Structures are given as C-alpha cells and as structure tokens.
Amino acid sequence: MRILITGAAGFLGSHLVDRFLAEGHRVIGMDNFITGSRDNLAHLAGNARFEFIEHNVSNYIFVDGPVDGVLHFASPASPVDYLRHPIPTLKVGSLGTHNTLGLAKAKGARFLLASTSEVYGDPQVHPQPESYWGHVNPVGPRGVYDEAKRFAEAMTMAYHRYHGVPTRIVRIFNTYGPRMRAHDGRVVSNFVVQALSGEPLTVYGEGNQTRSFCFVSDLVDGIFRLFHSDRVDPTNIGNPTEFTMLELANLVQEMVGSHVAIRHEPLPVDDPKVRKPDIGVAQAVLGWNPTVDLRAGLVRTIEYFRGALPQGR
C-alpha cells in the first residue's frame, strides 16, 4: 500500500512511519514542522519507500499518484503546544481534517483520524468507554484542542455516512517513549528531563490526579491493527493501568537515581482529575493489549533522554 501520514515528523507520526515501512508499505510523510522535528525522520534518508512533503495540511493538499491510506496525525498535541498555537490547532482539526478526508475520498483511500482522550474532557465517568460523550468546557483554554478533535470526529463520521469513505477513529490516551520533545509539557517528559537535569519535579496540585501511560510501541501496534480492521466507530487505545502524578514522580526519581525535590504548582484550568481508558473494544475487536509496563517503558525513555539532552545528562 501507499500510505500518507500527516504529522509524520512528530513523536507519534514518526513511529507510525517506521511501522508501516517495516510492514513493507510505501509511505509519504507530510509535516510543516510547527511542532515536529526533522531529526525524527533523519534515519530514513535514502529509503526508497519513503518520500516527504513539507506542507501545512490546513491548506489544500495535492499528492500525485495513488494513495491507499491516509492517517491524519497532524496537530499540536500537548498543552504547551496548543496553548501556544491555539488557532493553528483549531485549523488543523477542522480544515486539516476536511482536506485529508477530501484527499481520501478523491483517492478511494482508507482514512484514520488521530483523536484523543481529551474528547472526554474532565470525565464524570470512570474509566472512559467509547460510549461516553464527555464533559468538556468549549470556551476554556483547553477547548481549542478538545473541540478541534471533537469536530474532527464529527467530520470523519459525516464523510463516512454521506460519502462512504472507509474511516477509522482512534482515541489516544497518554503515550510516552523515545522522540518525545524535552520541553513539550507532557508529564513523563517533564519529570524525566527535570530529574536528569537535577531540577525539582513539577507536580500540579496535590498530585492526586491520575493518568494511564501507554508506551509508544504498544500504541502504534493498536493503531496499525485498527487501520486494517473494519471498525468504524471511535476506539480507545491506551494502557488502563492508572497512576497518580505523585506516584509517577516518585518512580522517575527512583529510576533516574535523582533525589531532587518535588515542587507543587497550582492546578491548570480544566485539568482532568482522572483519565483511564476502557479498552474492552480494542481487546475484543482488535485482539490488542498493551504489553510494556510503565517501569520497562521508562527505562527506554530515560535512556533516550540521556542521549538527547545536552552533555548527555
């Protein structure tokens, strides 16, 4: 197959490129580098089955030749990024989704949308099943990302129902691993970088809010299975093992061997108190389960950041 992956220079997009190439497909990567990095694709230089187009998908997309699949992963995805780029975030969720769906329709391609657990907002149902409609503040600071993804899901289902485009929607829960940016604002990278740099770990509130962390290879495997499945409705992919932020901070301290202090800061506006996927659908329909536990995943993530940070810290 010939696959287009938008956001290909990002953390998740670049790992997806690697997976599709490893499975023997040809891949077109597309990115405008608003948050992606050329370094994430540097290892593919000279690969005859990979081509790259620098382009903002919120503008009209042209791809020459056949395309069998479109995976739309372009978007700022961490609070630091979408609060810094609120309008591009809304545009890539709306215009970018419209453009990539239009390309899939024109090419007769299968389409997969990267949605997010943020569509559930600060959830009042726990864990969160796909049937839950969410609890989102549309005018709060996080609304630019939450509502962009909720609109993208609606647009995707409209193209499926009205135009018959074969669509898939993955709701991605917290994911971590190599190629995360050092200062992207995500909690795993924040803690690891702070610990390696000898800085206090920033915990918001009392640190009792929970998240569930999926290692990137597990997530990519779930997405790959979903893409090749017949599942049209949204599908949660994430690790259901739940940790408080204080538990994560203590684990990172232990694994890095750092005894830096923990600094408490006020909770951000609309910060979800709990986040845990119900993955029953992925288990039953895709035969998927995460296999990398948090400690094993952190070993690989810490090793990556030791090499990526200045002076190997």
CA distances from 196 to 200, 254, 262 (A): 10, 11, 14
Angstrom distance (rounded) from CA 272 to CA 41: 33
Report the candidate in 81, 70, 78 with the shortest Cα–Cα distance to residue 116. Answer: 78
Alpha carbons 140 and 122: distance in angstroms, whole number: 12
State the pairing for strand pair 210-212/242-244. antiparallel
- Reduce the DSSP state of residue 65 to 3 states and report it: coil
Total residue count of the chain as it appears in this document:
313
Structure tokens at 245: 């932020």
- Would the CA dihedral through 139, 88, 132, 129 be positive or negative? negative
Beta strands in 50-154, from DSSP E residues, in sequence order: 50-54, 69-72, 110-116
In the chain the beta strands, taken as DSSP E runs, fall at 2-6, 26-31, 50-54, 69-72, 110-116, 167-172, 175-176, 201-204, 210-212, 214-215, 235-237, 242-244, 262-265
SS (H, E, C) 216-280: HHHHHHHHHHHHCCCCCCCEEECCCCEEEHHHHHHHHHHHHCCCCCEEEECCCCCCCCCCCECCH
Query: Is 120 designated active site?
Result: no
82, 120, 145, 159: which is the annotated catalytic residue?
145
- Indicate which residues carry an active-site annotation: 145
